[in-house]
Amino acid sequence: MRKNIYLLALVSLLLTACAQQTFNYSPKVTNVDFPPVGKVHTAQLGENMIAQGMYIETEAVKVLATDTFGLAYTVMPGTFLKHREDDKRIFFHVHGNDGAGNVVASALADPFSAVMVEKDSKEFCILSTFGSYNCSDDTQYELTTVPIIKSDTMQQTLVYSGRVGERINMVYREFQGNMIRDAFTNRVEYDLSESDIIGYKGARLRVIEATNQKITYEVLSNFK
């Protein structure tokens, strides 16, 4: 069932507009050490063998299937990040990271502002910048948490690049947010006939098995 609700009173519109700009939710900031020290892990060609950095673990709503709200809006699958809540509703906004959802407004619809979940009825709603909202109890969604790379911190990774004879190759990369720092990308090579322990910038790994497709290893220490 779908319904359209319009807040006709000017005071209500003003209050809604102000509320939309209120952020009362602070996501959890977490340091990443992947894989954990002491863990045996297998990485495929082109995958991260080891990574360190910081990310934000934030609550989100994940829309599972495309849904339409009359002729006004279409919500696309993906996640929307939580930015505030009150005793009755949780509000989420669009973000620019991988897996993001989106709302497409028709030419005659009010501009889209946020999406909202009613705590009691579980209805999913599209909220406009003018205070109107369209709700549905048919939208397929789930409440979840998602990791978002913290844009103002550095991440370090070591990527497996394959094996030639007794030598294995890797690429060390540093990221600022989601952007690779070109000056801090370096290709490294190790000779397994000399040692099964390899290291770079404080990270140390014991190679258990390596082919040109994958590598199995134990993490002895992460980047320093």
For residue range 114-125, what is the model confidence (pLDDT) as tens digits? 999 999 999 999
Total domains present in the chain = 2
Return the pLDDT at 6. Answer: 43
Last residue of a domain, one of 114, 149, 184: 149
The pLDDT of residue 30 is above 70: yes
Long-range Cβ pairs for the range 176-181 (8 Å, 24+): 176/151, 177/149, 177/150, 177/151, 177/152, 177/153, 178/97, 178/149, 178/151, 181/154
Last residue of a domain, one of 149, 177, 192: 149
Residues 158 and 208 grouped into a single domain: yes
Residues 74 and 183 grouped into a single domain: no
- Residue 202: pLDDT band with limits 50, 70, 90: very high
123-165 confidence digits (pLDDT tens): 999 999 998 889 999 999 999 988 776 666 778 899 999 999 9
The pLDDT of residue 207 is above 90: yes
The pLDDT of residue 181 is above 70: no
Comparing 193 with 148, which gets the higher pLDDT?
A: 193
The answer to whether residues 139 and 124 touch, using CB atoms and an 8 Å cutoff, is: yes
Query: What percentage of the chain has pLDDT greater than the value 70?
Result: 84
Residues 99 and 193 grouped into a single domain: no
The pLDDT of residue 188 is above 90: yes
The C-alpha angle 25, 28, 33, rounded to 5 degrees, equals 165
Last residue of a domain, one of 149, 171, 187: 149
Residues 142 and 187 grouped into a single domain: no
Residues 93 and 160 grouped into a single domain: no
Q: Which residues constitute the domain of residue 140?
A: 2-26+57-149
Residues 65 and 97 grouped into a single domain: yes
Residues 83 and 120 grouped into a single domain: yes
The pLDDT of residue 14 is above 50: no
Mean pLDDT across the chain: 86
Residues 203 and 162 grouped into a single domain: yes
Residues 136 and 183 grouped into a single domain: no
Residues 119 and 139 grouped into a single domain: yes
Residues 88 and 196 grouped into a single domain: no
